[in-house]
Structure 1
Amino acid sequence: MPYSPIGQSIQVLDTPALLIDLDKMENNIQKMAARCRDSGLHWRPHAKGHKTPAIAHKQLCAGAIGITCAKLGEAEVLADAGISDILVANQVVGREKVARLVNLRRRADVMVAVDDPVHIRAISDAATDVGVNVRVLVEVDVGMKRCGVPPGAPTLALAQEADAAPGVVFAGIMGYEGHAMSLDDAAKEAACKKAVGELSKTRNLIEDAGLCVGIVSAGGTGTLAFTPDFPGITEIQAGGGIFMDTYYRDGLHVRGLEHALSVLTTVISRAAPDRAVADAGRKTTSSHPSLPEVKDRTDVVVTGLAAEHALLSLTNSDIEIGDKIQFISGYSDMTVFLHDQIYGTRDDRVEVVWDILARGKKQ
């Protein structure tokens, strides 16, 4: 029987290793679910950060109505793990991908974002060919200037085209106020109010034209403090906060959630009294847009990452070669996908090991 670390101290793990503090993650899940529930909204958390069906099931058990993902390949992994209600919050383009989409619809109630008639026609042709109906959300540009049609009449026109297309079910609209994430609280609140207001007015316009807008989807962890408070939306997509990281805390000003994700690393060199090196570089943890920080120590600071090495600055430190320390993730979205497994821990002992099954699912 192969060796299992279950029940063992995290100190026995070889490094670098990706860790999740289960108590903290589960608390974060409950807090985010409660934030949506108390605002009268559904929660459809994003899985692009954790890429792990076992974690998605924890979110569903906490009250999520479905799961959001960024890639069709992630949706396929989630469906294979028994998850049905899945939003691909992205445009699915190309004959091969659309064929996968409509065939995925046979085993999951997947829906996708569209922002052009080209998307609708491609899905319609493929869906009618195999005899399925695919739900779509028209993506609205609420200020981020990425994907999405302008609010108002352009969104109505695309909704009407979706509603008329065989094999396509117009399910609603979505928008992402990503341009507001890094603003200070006052400016962020104002930007969220404006973004949700655009979605709300557009929803009213579409419904006045006789179409049902069952879903109005928006929100991220960086705006979770404000977006749910404004009327007009039906669900929130925020998901990354279940891990929390230094970027969410310092760059996006997220409060009230605990740092759950860390990287266990070993000190491999101490060439001088004021510096050391650990075995977790950019191939293990993200340095952009925020460096990781050392957990529970003030005498050791991460000053930079090379490909395989973390550069550490020491102040009156007793750290030695062979010591294991934990890095709080700088940005979880750019850290998890670097690993094959997550070690779920409780009280610094390994409770579960999860394969990151949607890792590498870029298509």
Structure 2
Amino acid sequence: MDWFRLSNEAEVASPALLIFEERVESNLRRMIEIAGDPARLRPHVKTHKLGPLVERQLALGINKFKCATIAEAEMCAQADAPDVLIAMPAVGPNVARLCKLAKKYPATRFSTLIDDAGAMQALGLAAVKAGLTLDVFLDLDCGQNRTGIKPGNEALELYRQATTTAGLKVAGLHAYDGHIHEADLTKRRALYETAFGPVLAFRQQLESAGLAVPVLVAGGTPTFPFHAEQTDRQCSPGTTVLWDFGYADKHVDMPFLPAALLLARVVSKPGANRLCLDLGHKSVAAENPHPRVRFIELPDAPAISQSEEHLVIETPRAAEFSVGDTLHGIPRHVCPTVALYNEATVVRGGAAVGTWPIARARRLTV
């Protein structure tokens, strides 16, 4: 039987997100192999949002995590993760929520990012009021121009201020190079080196000024192999856990397996060469142009139209499929696709064996 087919597929309602446990395990072990030591990894959980996958990583020796939301941070804490970095500046009501989170889960060391003096002071005041000391990383903009402060004198002064801000403890530097995703390995490496030259020079500047830099958290998925070559930083790949065809097509140098599939069914046959599937915008991430999903059975079938609940594809092989037949698709972008589902169907040994809840909400209990 093909690896993607389930022996009890008739019992799984579609559309469904399938997580293949054995493939996840393979990807996790490859991450550790590339990093050289699980202690060097701080995987981003935004890709999967699954507490059981956090627990599995803990069992493999990975004990540090990165996330994007307070809900994801709480999911990690509920899985007994000891160290969680929220890679999003805390502003507005989220400042109080972060303090509440830290009080509710004292066994977990929470940290967040700073890149603004005013926001940093507000965070420190809230921490003092809550009777807490919160770890903070100075977020450096190494070229993505999204969050972070450019390395230099202004950043040094902010770092220095953070070291004396009541309620805060400086944990080090954070630099995410998500703008680097060239397919050509040589070009990708050159861009990585250009982006991180100023980061490393800034770390030296801080240390020369007598300011300690305990940790550098660096990179994402496309540059993971480059950062892993250096032993002076923590690596933060995310998509590597589940993989998708967007990265698989572009980064053929990375040895990961698609571990998350979308199960869809033919619901109608609107023409001799067309199939209508129950996989609309609400079931697969729609921020990219088509193809948003690649079906293993029909990898070359183009999308003709997609609406909230329907996807129409065209194929000369349409006659081979009947209404009710299943297709299995690899998403182009797995992270926002996972966020569309309340639960994932777990596949083990070629069969669906249960479900895992997905922490897709912006709020769990905090």
After TM superposition, the score normalised by the length of structure 1 is 0.91
User: What is the Cα deviation at residue 305 of structure 1?
Assistant: 2.7
**Mean CA deviation greater in 182-191 or 118-127:** 182-191
1:326 pairs with one of 300, 325, 328: 328
Mean Cα displacement is larger for which, 14-23 or 61-70? 61-70
For the 8 Å contact 2:136–2:168, the answer to whether it is kept is yes
**Superposed displacement of residue 58, structure 1:** 1.6
Indicate which of 313, 329, 337 corresponds to 2:339. Answer: 337
Aligned 1:59-78 pairs, distance under 5 A = 59-78=57-76
Counterpart in 2 of 1:359? Answer: 361
Secondary structure at 1:357 match in 2:
coil
Q: Distance in 1 between matches of 2:67 and 2:341?
A: 18
Q: Within 5 Å, give how 1:1-363 maps onto structure 2.
A: 9-37=8-36, 42-94=40-92, 96-106=93-103, 107=105, 108-182=108-182, 184-230=184-230, 233-251=232-250, 255-289=254-288, 291-298=292-299, 300-317=301-318, 318-361=320-363
Residues 93, 253 of structure 1: CA spacing in aligned structure 2 closer, same or farther, 3 A cutoff? Answer: farther
Distance 1:12 1:300 in 2: 26
Distance 1:154 1:178 in 2: 23
Task: Name the CA distance, whole Å, in 2 between partners of 1:255 and 1:244.
Answer: 10
Instruction: Please report how far the alpha carbon of residue 62 of structure 1 lies from its aligned counterpart in structure 2 after TM superposition.
Output: 2.3
Distance in 2 between the 1:304 and 1:256 partners? Answer: 33
Are the equivalent residues in 1 in contact too, given 2:304–2:314 (CA < 8 A)? yes
* Structure-1 residue corresponding to 2:3: none
- How much has 1:230 moved relative to structure 2? 4.5
Deviation at 1:301, TM superposition (A): 4.8
1:191–1:304 CA distance, 2 compared to 1 (3 A): farther
Q: Tell me the secondary structure at the aligned position of residue 249 of structure 2.
A: helix
Letter in 2 for 1:103: K
Other-structure match for 1:3: none
What letter matches 1:105 in structure 2? A
Q: Distance in 2 between matches of 1:105 and 1:165?
A: 18
What is aligned with 1:4?
A: none
Task: Tell me the TM-score normalized by structure 2.
Answer: 0.90
Residue 204 of structure 1: CA displacement? Answer: 1.3
What amino acid is the match of 1:214?
A: P
Query: Partners in 2 of 1:191 and 1:57 — Cα distance?
Result: 34
Q: Which moved more, 1:120-129 or 1:73-82?
A: 73-82
Q: Deviations over 1:236-257 (max 9, x none)?
A: 1111121111111234556311
| 299 and 173 in structure 1: CA distance in 2 versus 1, 3 angstrom threshold | closer
* Residues 209-239 of structure 1 deviation map (CA, whole Å, 9 limit, x = unaligned): 22221110111112223232246x4101111
* Partners of 2:28 and 2:172 in 1: CA distance: 26
Q: Please report the RMSD computed on the Cα atoms of aligned residues, expressed in angstroms.
A: 2.2
Aligned with 1:19: secondary structure? strand
Describe the SS at the equivalent of 1:265: strand
Q: What is the CA distance between 1:109 and its match in structure 2? A: 0.8
User: Is contact 2:341-2:360 (8 Å) kept?
Assistant: no
Which letter does structure 2 place at the counterpart of 1:351? V
| Structure 1 unaligned regions, length at least 5 | 1-6
User: Larger deviation: 65-74 or 249-258?
Assistant: 249-258
Q: Secondary structure at the match of 1:338?
A: coil
Q: In the superposition, relative to structure 1, how do residues 292 and 56 fare at CA in structure 2: closer, same or farther (>3 Å)?
A: same
What is the identity, as a one-letter code, of the residue corresponding to 2:115?
D
Alignment deviations for residues 93-144 of structure 1 (CA, whole Å, 9 cap, x no partner):
01x2111212222322100010011122011111111211100000001111
- In structure 2, the CA distance between the partners of 1:75 and 1:219, relative to structure 1 (3 Å rule), is same
Range with greater deviation from structure 2 (71-80 or 239-248): 71-80
CA distance in 1, matches of 2:286, 2:125: 44
Please give the alpha-carbon distance, in whole angstroms, between the structure 1 residues aligned to 2:304 and 2:334: 18
Give the superposition deviation at 1:59.
2.0
Query: Which letter does structure 2 place at the counterpart of 1:323?
Result: D
For 1:359 and 1:181, locate their aligned partners in 2 and report how far apart those are by CA, in whole Å. Answer: 28
Query: In the alignment, is the contact (CA less than 8 A) between 1:184 and 1:253 conserved in 2?
Result: no
Worse overlay, 66-75 or 283-292:
283-292
Residues 277-332 of structure 1 show CA distances to partners (whole Å, capped at 9, x for unaligned) of: 11111110124335211124457554553221112221234111110111111211
Matched-pair contact (CA < 8 Å) for 1:43–1:63: no
Q: What is the total number of aligned residue pairs between the two structures?
A: 354
Is 1:10–1:349's contact at 8 Å kept on the other side of the alignment?
yes
Mark the CA change 1:97 to 1:298 in structure 2 (over 3 Å): closer, same or farther.
closer
Letter in 1 for 2:12: L
Tell me how far apart the structure 2 counterparts of residues 151 and 299 of structure 1 sit (CA, whole Å). 45
CA contact 1:171–1:214 (8 Å) conserved in 2: yes
Task: Tell whether the 8 Å contact from 2:68 to 2:88 is kept in structure 1 after alignment.
Answer: yes
How far apart are the structure 2 equivalents of 1:353 and 1:347? 15
Taking only the aligned residue pairs, the percentage that are identical comes to 27
Higher mean alpha-carbon deviation, 277-286 vs 78-87, is at: 78-87
Name the CA shift for 1:304/1:41 in 2 (closer, same or farther; >3 Å): farther
Cα distance change of structure 1 residues 298 and 209 upon mapping to structure 2, 3 Å threshold: closer
- Equivalent residues of 1:222, 1:253 under 8 A apart: no
Letter in 2 for 1:34: E
2:21 and 2:314 map into 1 onto residues whose CA distance is 29
